[in-house]
Structure 1
Amino acid sequence: MPPTLASLLRTSALKLTVLAGGDRLDAAVRWVHTSELDDPTPYLEGGELLLTTGLKLGTDADALREYVYRLADAGVVGLGFGVGLGHDSVPEPLVSAAEERGLPLLRVPRPTPFIAISKAVSAAIAADQYKAVTAGLEAQRELTRAALAPDGTGALLSRLAAHLDGWAALYDASGAVVAASPDWAGRRAARLGGEIERLRARPAPASAAVAGPGGADDRVEIQSLGTGRHPRGFLAVGTAERLDTSARYVVHAAVALLTLSLEQSRTLQDAERRFGAALLRMLLAGETGHARTVAGRRYGTLLERPVRVLIAEAARRPDKGEHGDPAVALALLAEQAEAAGARSAEPLLASLDGPRLTVLAADGGGVLAACAEHVEAAEVLAAGLSAAAPADEVPAAGSQAERALAVAHRRSRALVEHDEVGAGSILPLLGDDAVKAFAEGLLRPLRDHDATSRGDLVKSLRAWLSRHGQWDAAAADLGVHRHTLRYRMRRVEEILGRSLDDPDVRMELWLALKSEG
């Protein structure tokens, strides 16, 4: 512990006596300062024991009272008054003012030099710092041993929480709680999502100190982990009091060990990602047998269960630039997928290839749910999700995801599932400019005919197609004889140079008519 006024009083060689403020002697002394100025406060930082002989103070009660109040307002923890030089005894108004303000006042006898008090405080501060460093080194050794245990992260957090007499929690890059100690701390740590999100926006290393979540009395400090631009994780510690020097050594040691662990695993993680991406490409190419052989047991039963394919890329909405960088959002989506897989012990395959992310995961699992949630919240991404399919049908699932993604872009949606596309209507897709241009070109000869001649070919064609080629019903709708309608349909064929007996021609004409409303 740092020196206090009480510890100085217990130093018999100093022969100090308490004259006022005896109930505040446990205040820590940060330093000793000697001054004979009547206002030394411009040269103080707070936390000092101020020593004076009172040469310029005089005996005026009001002046002495103002002097004491200035010192107390400046954060001085105590006043040592040396007698035998300017004053034979400590002035009574000074004692009264100190008692009134609650400022500890110490009488320093003539034989005790001020330098002796300074040396005592300096030695005590040095001893406290040495003790903190020694304790910190021992804590580092303990944390290092814990980090080398089979459950290195959990053991390290447990030792860290014990050293701090508080709690500790580790988060992944997405801000999800990976581990916490003690066990109850996980719930408290999970409520710091907003603080983690703000810290994520700052390059690592960065830190923040906040009040305990949910009205808790503890004080929380959060440190980002990693050496790159984007944090690879976060460490939060909660304690009842502000961290002292020794505790900070312990926290810094934990940050260093966790960062080292994350950075050392980066190469392995990158290699595993490349392996998974290559395996995913094999599955999408239809090489299921080779993929099973290469995967072995590494991905558990992933290839034995129904899976889905999700494809995400930057949204093509005009306002997407207002909400962030799509490349960053895609990278974070990949991290969210990995984090969700780690939490639920779900294997997955992912490939981040330039501006596109492809994810293959088990149907109904937490990975795809986390991906969908992130895409919806990101505001700068669009994604398509396939229907569930066995591993042998992954190529078809990939095509489904592609088509669903195209619909998401067309409809300015964040996420579209293939089942939703199949259950919907094709008519909204006819609003595309390319489809409208095709319809206009296909029907223009008929409209030009109707504008200059009699016959109402476009109206007659619509009626005939809507009645599935039934002459009597279509003629009745138009109010003409069926022979008149037959003549008009022959004119349609002549003008377009296409046969209405061809179902593809009838389909194109009907879609062209529908696209124009």
Structure 2
Amino acid sequence: MPPTLASLVQHSALRLAVLTGKDRLDTSVRWAHASELADPTPYLEGGELLLVTALKLDAEDADAMREYVRRLAGKGVVGLGFAAGVNYEKVPDALVDACREADLPLLEVPRRTPFIAISKAVSAAIAAEQYRAVTAGFDAQREMTRAALSQEGPSALLAKLASQVAGWAALYDASGAMVATAPNWALRRAARFVGDAERLRDRPAPASAVVSGAEEGDDRVELQSIGGGRRARAVLAVGTAAPLGTAERYAVHSAVALLTLTMERSRALQEAEQRLGAAVMRMLLSGEPDHARAVAGNLYGGLLDAPMRVLVAEPASAVRGRGSATVAGAAGSGSGSGGSASAGSGGSGEGAAGGPGVRLPVVAVTEDSPVPLPAPDGVPYDLTRPLDQFADLAETAASRSGEAVLVVPDGNRLVVLASDGGSAFAACAQYASSFAKALEASGACGGPHHNGAAAEDALFVGVSAPAGLAAAAVAFKQADQALSVARRRGAPFVEHEDVAAGSVLPLLADDAVRAFADGLLRSLRDHDANGRGDLVASLRAWLSRHGQWDAAAADLGVHRHTLRYRMRRVEEILGRSLDDPDVRMELWLALKATG
């Protein structure tokens, strides 16, 4: 216990007598200080027991004592000790009356008790309290360390922490969701602080905040960021009825250190898993399913055994012109972001947070990437990092449902292998739709005809048909083709089955077709780049109007004779006749293939 006025009065060696303020003796004493100044308040901090002999005070002047005591009480002095038999034989009545009026405890100090004895008693009590707090903190640290290494991991650690602080504790992951709470009755209380955890998570780590309730009796909640990087990987919340004491604060700091340590350890495991996942993806896309299965072992659970979906996600601002060879190469060489992540019982991912079988689904795509939380209706708060959020959502959804998912960054794209009909696949579909709605709400649109600059932030996702392990390479091509269609339609999420029946346009996503189209149109583009006309746009308009001169000229805003001249220049540059239907077909497909 910290020293109080009561403990000093009960100290047999001090022989202190209480003259006023008997009902306030339970007040804690921060220090004992002797001063003979008429106004010592500039040198006090509050919480002191002030010791005086009244050497420079007129202790028998009622007005002077009333003003003196008023200043002391205003500064926060918790008690006044008066040495009897030094300058006054007994404590003057004026001082006693002034202390009684101010409700300030007044202690009579006998002549045989030196002030230094009182100071030593206070100092010894403070030191004993600090030693007790440190010892209790070490004991709590040992208990929480054992809990963190147990099968329950973070949940057991939070239970120990809640017991130590006589309150509750909750852990929020990088997506803002609660992943553990202790005790169970605190679930609703902890849910009220999700917004505060989100705000702290977005601040540079390490960060902390204290939130107090608006009404009397509300919890005092302290939040601490978790993680060794510049971005918080999780947030710890501790709710108590009163401010944390020294021992309780040691326990909280120990919990933060243990949670950070387990997350950094799981991060190293994730990096190794990412390299393995990249190799598995490369083998699958190279048509080596048996090798992929052998390398993966049990890491991805049933993902490689059941029908799967391949998803390819890409923002509108990404560089076009990548095919299956690009993704396969990136997965093998690490030329993209270099990895994958898994979730569920078979993998660790960023979510693994402790001993065997322990999962903490905290997911971050890169150390410096914020991972915003989707709003309750699925609309994300941050529209500028769609791929980061897409990967986070897929991994977190899989982790919470016990599935496995494989996510491989490929430059400006993401390739995802998810179970057909699983939670990760459903979450990706819902997110893509919600992201498009959020862009529309912000005044942007992913469609190709929208003029808003924010359309650069649109996200497009192409999805394959359900496929087995042996058909993973084919499924990737389907997803890539669906992505191409999604871009052209301005649609956020296109499945291969939804591609227009009989349409040849998905085939134009092939690298060879694009190379042919670029070669066919290069001379026209070079002509336009030199500022000598707009032949490509004119050709597109003329072909889209089936060779109708007036309609095409009106679309371009030029005279039909001007359009006729431009089409003659196209024939001269290409060395081909536009009267040939095969030539018109090739040019139209080339224009569609190159967007």
Q: What is the TM-score when the length of structure 2 is the normalising length?
A: 0.67
| 1:217 has 2:218 as partner | yes
Q: Residues 169-180 of structure 1: matches in 2 within 5 Å?
A: 169-180=170-181
Match of 2:408 among 351, 354, 357: 351
1:388: how far off? 4.3
In structure 2, do the counterparts of structure 1 residues 187 and 283 end up closer, same or farther at CA, with 3 Å as the change threshold? farther
Alignment-derived partner of residue 397 in structure 2: 340
In structure 2, do the counterparts of structure 1 residues 55 and 279 end up closer, same or farther at CA, with 3 Å as the change threshold? same
Alignment-derived partner of residue 56 in structure 2: 56
SS in 1 for 2:418: strand
SS in 1 for 2:108: strand
1:246: how far off? 0.9
| 1:259 has 2:260 as partner | yes
The 1-side partners of 2:551 and 2:587 are apart by 12
1:309: how far off? 0.9
In structure 2, do the counterparts of structure 1 residues 119 and 411 end up closer, same or farther at CA, with 3 Å as the change threshold? farther
Q: Residues 37-76 of structure 1: matches in 2 within 5 Å?
A: 37-58=37-58, 59-76=60-77
Show CA shifts across 1:270-298 (max 9, x none).
11122223323333444444433433443
Checking the alignment, whether the CA contact within 8 Å between 2:485 and 2:494 is kept in structure 1 is no
Match of 2:577 among 497, 505, 512: 497
In structure 2, do the counterparts of structure 1 residues 460 and 3 end up closer, same or farther at CA, with 3 Å as the change threshold? closer
1:404: how far off? 5.5
Alignment-derived partner of residue 438 in structure 1: 536
Q: Choose between structure 1 and 2: higher helix proportion.
A: 1
When the two chains are superposed, the root-mean-square deviation of aligned CA atoms in Å is: 4.0
1:442: how far off? 5.9
Show CA shifts across 1:221-251 (max 9, x none).
1222222222232222212221111111222
The structure whose Rg is larger is 1
Give the counterpart letter for 2:263 in structure 1.
Answer: L
The 1-side partners of 2:93 and 2:487 are apart by 85
Checking the alignment, whether the CA contact within 8 Å between 1:383 and 1:404 is kept in structure 2 is no
The 1-side partners of 2:544 and 2:266 are apart by 69
Checking the alignment, whether the CA contact within 8 Å between 1:403 and 1:418 is kept in structure 2 is no
| 1:164 has 2:165 as partner | yes
Show CA shifts across 1:36-77 (max 9, x none).
112111111111111112222213322221221211121111
Checking the alignment, whether the CA contact within 8 Å between 1:191 and 1:213 is kept in structure 2 is no
In structure 2, do the counterparts of structure 1 residues 185 and 270 end up closer, same or farther at CA, with 3 Å as the change threshold? farther
1:169: how far off? 2.0
Checking the alignment, whether the CA contact within 8 Å between 1:8 and 1:14 is kept in structure 2 is yes
Give the counterpart letter for 2:399 in structure 1.
Answer: A
- Pick which of 336-345 and 119-128 moved more: 336-345
The 2-side partners of 1:115 and 1:19 are apart by 21
Give the counterpart letter for 1:108 in structure 2.
Answer: V
Alignment-derived partner of residue 33 in structure 2: 33
Alignment-derived partner of residue 10 in structure 1: 10
Report 1 or 2 for greater relative contact order, CA contacts < 8 Å, sequence distance ≥ 6.
Answer: 2
Give the counterpart letter for 2:111 in structure 1.
Answer: R
1:140: how far off? 1.7
Alignment-derived partner of residue 459 in structure 2: 382
- Pick which of 238-247 and 114-123 moved more: 238-247
In structure 2, do the counterparts of structure 1 residues 187 and 282 end up closer, same or farther at CA, with 3 Å as the change threshold? farther
Alignment-derived partner of residue 273 in structure 1: 274
SS in 1 for 2:184: coil
The 1-side partners of 2:92 and 2:129 are apart by 35
Checking the alignment, whether the CA contact within 8 Å between 1:349 and 1:360 is kept in structure 2 is yes
The 2-side partners of 1:510 and 1:270 are apart by 43
Alignment-derived partner of residue 99 in structure 2: 98
The 2-side partners of 1:215 and 1:361 are apart by 49
Q: What is the TM-score when the length of structure 1 is the normalising length?
A: 0.76
| 1:360 has 2:449 as partner | no
Checking the alignment, whether the CA contact within 8 Å between 2:390 and 2:431 is kept in structure 1 is no
The 1-side partners of 2:100 and 2:212 are apart by 35
Give the counterpart letter for 1:42 in structure 2.
Answer: P
SS in 2 for 1:12: coil
Give the counterpart letter for 2:313 in structure 1.
Answer: I
The 1-side partners of 2:316 and 2:579 are apart by 43
The 1-side partners of 2:387 and 2:70 are apart by 60
Alignment-derived partner of residue 227 in structure 2: 226
The 2-side partners of 1:212 and 1:423 are apart by 57
Checking the alignment, whether the CA contact within 8 Å between 1:205 and 1:231 is kept in structure 2 is yes
Checking the alignment, whether the CA contact within 8 Å between 1:79 and 1:106 is kept in structure 2 is yes
Percent identity among equivalent residues? 54
Checking the alignment, whether the CA contact within 8 Å between 1:135 and 1:246 is kept in structure 2 is yes
In structure 2, do the counterparts of structure 1 residues 189 and 282 end up closer, same or farther at CA, with 3 Å as the change threshold? farther
1:94: how far off? 2.6
Alignment-derived partner of residue 248 in structure 2: 247
